[in-house]
Amino acid sequence: MTTDAPETRFALAKGATREIARLTSTQKADALGAIADALEAHADRIIAANAEDLERGRANGIGDSLLDRLALTTERVSALADATREVAALPDPVGQVVRGERMANGIALEQVRVPFGVVGAIYEARPNVTVDIAALALRSGNAVVLRGGSAALSSNMALVEIMRQALESVGVTPEAIQTVDEFGREGANALMRGRGFIDVLVPRGSAGLIETVVTSSTVPVIETGAGNVHVVLDASAPEEWARDISVNSKTHRVSVCNSAETILVVREAAERLIPQVARALQDAGVTIHGDETVRSLANDVVPATEEDWETEYLSLDVAMKVVETLDEAIDHIARYSTHHTETIVTADVREAERFLAEVDSAAVYVNASTRFTDGGEYGFGAEVGISTQKLHARGPMGLPELTSTKWIGRGSGQIRP
């Protein structure tokens, strides 16, 4: 690859779309298999490139957790290869018939899944995302233009070159995988205004990154958003479920978007539930930020402020608030939620159905942990991301969400009378 301009790379990706869209499911699986093998065969080269990034990162004073996300080891490269093989084994969405009918005049009409064309991705300094997004895009028949964080530049360049060579080795055009990493911020800006070249843009990373892409892009974006996730303990909530679902939703894995951040307790159940739910959370290492009533019913509770209702902690912290009624809980969610996932614990079928009907989030549960909002749990096999927008895809996205559709009509001379 030569240093030219981002738009040149976009045109190369677009030029590859017809070939990639035409590949059979077997050809695409073989191409991904070749990529997986090449990653393992060139693990040393990848790790050497990664070492440059790590060294530069340390010199620039990058924090330990970022360095850890950036680091590649032999095991991590193997895990990347395995993940690529898993994507290769997923059902190919391209060509699936979504709807179909024989029109009254005899035309056989079908709505079939087709690739988007070129998928753009903007993400942070995590080299695994480079391989992950490329594999998902190729499996669904798309070309891809990648823009990773500059802190992972050397790693990404090595990964992209190895993936491109692997494609070539099985007779697939390497132009299907492009990177604009060398162009720095200008690469990201070009992606966001790449109308006519980039069919859909997927930002992955922090809330700030996603907000920038969503508001700046003139290309359609699939927003994978933050999760300010709520658990509601209703007046009739069974104690065991209230405790277990609160603890599991909060502590099963704290750094992910489907973990709970606020627990709302309906007043009638406050005395019955808060002492034991609070204790179970605290036993699991959680710091509770509570309102006055919560603090009167449990020990060691930090006073909650307005900011706590808005915060996605992604840590062993949870906000807890007493609401007068289920209505107030639903209002609170409407106001503060990022509309990712919410759950209610209740024994009352009327409250359960109201909650399901009135809470406007991507996933809404009754008597289940919020941690179930996940492509793997839903049986999608791969995790493209969890969409918090309402257009095109909402909630966990599988490979079909990386496709569009087109209408195909087979006629025999029909004209409109």
- Report d(CA 129, CA 152) in Å as an integer: 11
Helix or strand holding residue 328 (H, E): helix 326-336
Candidates 6, 10, 17, 46; binder of a copy of itself (CB under 8 A) is 17
User: Minimal distance in Å, beta carbon 339 to a copy of itself?
Assistant: 9
User: Minimal distance in Å, beta carbon 366 to a copy of itself?
Assistant: 5
What binding mask, one character per residue, do residues 177-216 give for a copy of itself by CB under 8 A, x or -? Answer: ------------------x---xx-------------xx-
Instruction: Specify whether the backbone of 119 is left (phi greater than 0), alpha (psi in -120 to 50) or beta.
Output: beta
Candidates 8, 111, 165, 282; binder of a copy of itself (CB under 8 A) is 111
- Report d(CA 118, CA 138) in Å as an integer: 10
Buried b (16+ CB within 10 A) or exposed e, 41-54: ebbeebbebbeebb
Candidates 16, 84, 116, 210; binder of a copy of itself (CB under 8 A) is 116
Distances (CA, A) of 102 to 1, 37, 404: 49, 45, 22
Decide whether 5 or 357 has the Cβ nearer to a copy of itself. 357
Interacting stretch for a copy of itself, rule CB under 8 A, among 29-37, 154-162, 182-190, 351-359? 351-359
What binding mask, one character per residue, do residues 229-268 give for a copy of itself by CB under 8 A, x or -? Answer: ---------x-xx--xx-xxx--x----------------
* Residue 204 β-bridge partners: 123
| Burial grade of 335 (CB within 10 A; 0-12, 13-18, 19 or more) | exposed
CA 271 and chain centroid, separation: 38
User: Minimal distance in Å, beta carbon 86 to a copy of itself?
Assistant: 18
Our finding on whether 378 is near a copy of itself (CB under 8 A) is: yes
- Report d(CA 346, CA 353) in Å as an integer: 10
* Residue 121 β-bridge partners: 146, 202
Our finding on whether 271 is near a copy of itself (CB under 8 A) is: no
Query: How many CB atoms sit inside 10 A of residue 143's CB?
Result: 32
Decide whether 22 or 58 has the Cβ nearer to a copy of itself. 22
Query: Would you tell me which residues interact with a copy of itself (CB under 8 A)?
Result: 17-18, 21-22, 101, 103, 107, 109, 111, 114, 116-117, 195, 199-200, 214-215, 218, 220, 222, 238, 240-241, 244-245, 247-249, 252, 334, 352, 356-358, 360-369, 371-373, 377-379, 389-392, 394-396, 404-416
